Amino acid sequence: MTAILTITLNPTVDIATEADTVEPERKLRCSRPKTDPGGGGINVSRAITLLGGHSTAFVAVGGPLGDKLVHLLAEAGIGLAPFPAPGETRQSFSVTDQSTGAQYRFVMPGPLWPRRSVDAALSRIARAAPKGGIVVLSGSQPPGVPVDFPTRLTSRIARAGARLLLDTSGKPLHHLCRASARPAYVLRMDEDEAEGLAGRPLPSRDASADFARSLVTRGLAQIVIIARGADGSVMATADHRWHCAAAKVPVVSKVGAGDSFVGALALALSRDDELPRALQFGVAAASAAVMTEATQLCRPSDVRRLLSQCIVTAL
């Protein structure tokens, strides 16, 4: 089994609570809050730990909230490689309206990163990258981190023979398509991001798989995965295309489904599972995650139970 390093430059202390109703201009009496460490890479590490694996989380932390985050990660049993952030760690929170079930999520931007902090982080990650292992870059980039960060990261970790699993969106994803250097071993995106990149709807599994294959052909990654929500996910390589159906489960919250997928996928790849099996494991973890509340991720017992429902078919 190869080692896994996750990267979170814009972590957060996530607070989740509930109120009878969410209405303007009145005090909202909330339930006792639940606090979790958050941010894409951290959630991937949490999922890996829940599924019986191990990873090291490279996390930029700063200020009292950064200290709180370090404490939460220690409680979760996650190995930490801390990096001094250029400002206070952000805090985000969600409130669930008990009368409707609607969830309101408030996400803060994080501190502004100067160029020297970006360069220092790249150097530190290069030293921490596991030889022949997997490096997962997931989640939002904080203000000031350039859109070419994934490309620059790849050239740094290549010396260790590490492979990049990239789950990104927005401007960094669009820049990736224009870059001459291609950074990813695996590139994952959701359906909306894929359609924005394609500039057209992708209404079917075949349409998503064709687009994913086109990104492989263009050299963006060796493996491209597009999540299709309740329909599951498609995976494409230069020679194969697969679809894995999501399990039919009651949806409580979609928060953390993508991170659970990436955590399970990274763990499967670190074990050298065959690609269809790794895809199935990821989809089962995502299906399990939507059954849990707020900032909770997948439950291992649910993942094991749902695996047989997540059928992989060749396209």
pLDDT tens for residues 3-26?
A: 999 999 999 999 989 999 999 988
User: Residue 180 pLDDT more than 70?
Assistant: no
Question: Using the 8-state DSSP alphabet, how is residue 237 labeled?
Answer: -
Q: How many Å apart are CA 273 and CA 265, to the nearest integer?
A: 9
pLDDT band of 303, cuts 50, 70, 90: very high
3-state secondary structure of 228: coil
Averaged pLDDT, 251-259: 85
User: Residue 242 pLDDT more than 70?
Assistant: yes
What share of the chain has pLDDT > 90, as a percent?
A: 79
Which helix (H) or strand (E) segment holds residue 242: the answer is strand 241-244
For residue range 84-97, list pLDDT tens digits in order: 999 999 999 889 89
Predicted pLDDT of residue 182: 62
Q: What tokens were used for 232?
A: 């599951």
What share of the chain has pLDDT > 70, as a percent?
A: 98
- Burial class from Cβ neighbours inside 10 Å (0-12, 13-18, 19+) for residue 246 reads buried
Residue 259 falls in the annotated catalytic set: yes
Q: How many Å apart are CA 309 and CA 68, to the nearest integer?
A: 39
For residue range 192-221, list pLDDT tens digits in order: 999 999 999 999 999 999 999 999 999 889
Question: Using the 8-state DSSP alphabet, how is residue 294 labeled?
Answer: T
Predicted pLDDT of residue 177: 79
Mean pLDDT of the chain: 93
Averaged pLDDT, 62-77: 94
Which helix (H) or strand (E) segment holds residue 13: the answer is strand 12-19
Residue type at position 113 = W
To which residue do tokens 């996910």 refer? 233
Predicted pLDDT of residue 132: 92
Buried b (16+ CB within 10 A) or exposed e, 127-138: ebbbeebbbbbb
Averaged pLDDT, 245-249: 95
Domain spans of the chain?
A: 4-314
Q: How many Å apart are CA 169 and CA 166, to the nearest integer?
A: 10
Q: 251, 249, 267: which is closest to 259 by C-alpha?
A: 267
Q: 13, 9, 10: which is closest to 92 by C-alpha?
A: 13
Predicted pLDDT of residue 296: 80
Q: Which of 54-68, 144-158, 176-190, 297-311 has the lowest mean pLDDT?
A: 176-190
User: Residue 181 pLDDT more than 80?
Assistant: no
End-to-end CA distance of the chain: 29
pLDDT band of 254, cuts 50, 70, 90: confident
User: Residue 183 pLDDT more than 90?
Assistant: no
The one catalytic residue in 14, 167, 259, 302 is 259
Q: What tokens were used for 57?
A: 């989380």
Q: How many Å apart are CA 304 and CA 41, to the nearest integer?
A: 23
Q: How many Å apart are CA 58 and CA 81, to the nearest integer?
A: 5
Q: How many Å apart are CA 31 and CA 29, to the nearest integer?
A: 7
Taking residue 301's Cβ as centre, other Cβ atoms within 10 Å add up to 9
Q: What tokens were used for 119?
A: 């360069």
Averaged pLDDT, 248-276: 93
The architecture that CATH gives domain 4-314 is 3-Layer(aba) Sandwich (3.40)
Question: Using the 8-state DSSP alphabet, how is residue 30 labeled?
Answer: B
To which residue do tokens 């928060």 refer? 255
User: Residue 78 pLDDT more than 90?
Assistant: yes
pLDDT band of 1, cuts 50, 70, 90: confident
Q: How many Å apart are CA 209 and CA 172, to the nearest integer?
A: 22
Q: How far is CA 181 from CA 46, 176, 230, 240, 275, in A?
A: 31, 8, 33, 23, 24
Beta strand 221-227 with 184-190: parallel, antiparallel or unpaired?
A: parallel
Cβ pair 8, 270 in contact under 8 A = no
Q: Give 104 or 236, the one with higher predicted confidence.
A: 236
Q: How many Å apart are CA 221 and CA 188, to the nearest integer?
A: 10
Averaged pLDDT, 123-133: 94
Q: What are phi and psi of 263, to 5 degrees?
A: -60, -45
Predicted pLDDT of residue 140: 85
